[in-house]
């Protein structure tokens, strides 16, 4: 397990839903913004299909606001939404085009996303939106660098992505030492207050994230760490 290189200044985090980043990656984001790095978040959906007891129009508004607050708690000021349909992300050229456009527009050195493998790191079958989005991100990094792909975007190609990181992967290769930043990650997860209340879940955010960070720390040889699968560009 190697440490994620940190000799860069701009990262773009691309995920499927509000709360996807807050199950661990946001603690790493807190470390990076604390170093003065710029992190921008792009969400494919607004999570409108994520609360069974709430009308999608209401859930869209609530979950968008909670994501913006969650981002603020880890030092992220810019949160954008692609407004694709929650629960119905489809791997293909339209999604890759949208993500390549975001990468070309923001010109990050690092791209951060979610696990696209069939299983989570701790076991359990991964959901379709995560698998689709994560894989599309991996491909969109290459798409964004190729000037002859998606020429209709009218954006210059961007070849500056050094690597992409995928959180929660069962094939983790790298870690970020989040010792001293775990509480910020916990606070960002707690920003999804209405989401958890409406689900009626008895969920201890602090215990959950602490457990993940301690397990990652044991693998990395530090107190608290979040692990990622790295794919070079």
For residue 106, name the pLDDT band (cuts at 50, 70, 90): very high
Task: Tally the domains of the chain.
Answer: 1
Asked which of 34-38, 55-59, 197-201, 216-220 is least confident by mean pLDDT, the reply is 197-201
Q: Which CATH number belongs to the domain containing residue 138 in this structure? A: 3.40.50.10320
Q: Quick one: which H or E segment has residue 122?
A: none
Cα–Cα dist 144/147, whole Å: 7
Q: How many CA atoms lie within 13 A of 58 on its CB side?
A: 8
Average the pLDDT over 104-130 and give the result: 95
Note down the domain range covering 96.
2-232
Closest by CA to 83, choosing from 58, 66, 64, 67, is: 64
Reported as a single tens digit per residue, the pLDDT across 133-167 is 999 999 999 999 999 999 999 999 999 999 999 99
For residue 214, name the pLDDT band (cuts at 50, 70, 90): very high
């Amino acid at each position: 397990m190697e440490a994620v290189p940190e000799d860069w200044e701009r990262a773009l985090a691309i995920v499927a839903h509000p709360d996807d980043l807050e199950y661990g990656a946001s603690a790493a984001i807190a470390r990076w913004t604390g170093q003065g790095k710029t992190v921008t978040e792009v969400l494919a959906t607004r999570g409108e299909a994520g609360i069974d007891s709430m009308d999608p129009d209401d859930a869209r508004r609530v979950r968008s606001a909670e994501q913006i607050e969650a981002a603020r708690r880890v030092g992220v000021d810019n949160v954008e939404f692609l407004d694709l349909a929650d629960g119905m992300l489809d791997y293909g050229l339209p999604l890759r085009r949208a993500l390549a456009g975001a990468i070309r527009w923001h010109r990050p050195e690092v791209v951060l996303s979610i696990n696209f493998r069939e299983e989570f790191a701790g076991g359990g079958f991964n959901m379709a939106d995560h698998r689709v989005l994560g894989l599309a991100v991996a491909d969109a990094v290459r798409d964004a660098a190729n000037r002859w792909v998606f020429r209709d975007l009218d954006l210059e190609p961007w070849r500056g992505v050094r690597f992409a990181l995928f959180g929660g992967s069962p094939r983790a290769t790298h870690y970020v030492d989040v010792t001293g930043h775990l509480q910020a990650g916990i606070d960002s997860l707690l920003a999804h207050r209405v989401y958890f209340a409406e689900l009626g879940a008895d969920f201890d955010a602090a215990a959950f994230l602490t457990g993940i960070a301690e397990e990652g720390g044991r693998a990395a040889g530090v107190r608290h760490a979040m692990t990622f699968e790295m794919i070079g560009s």
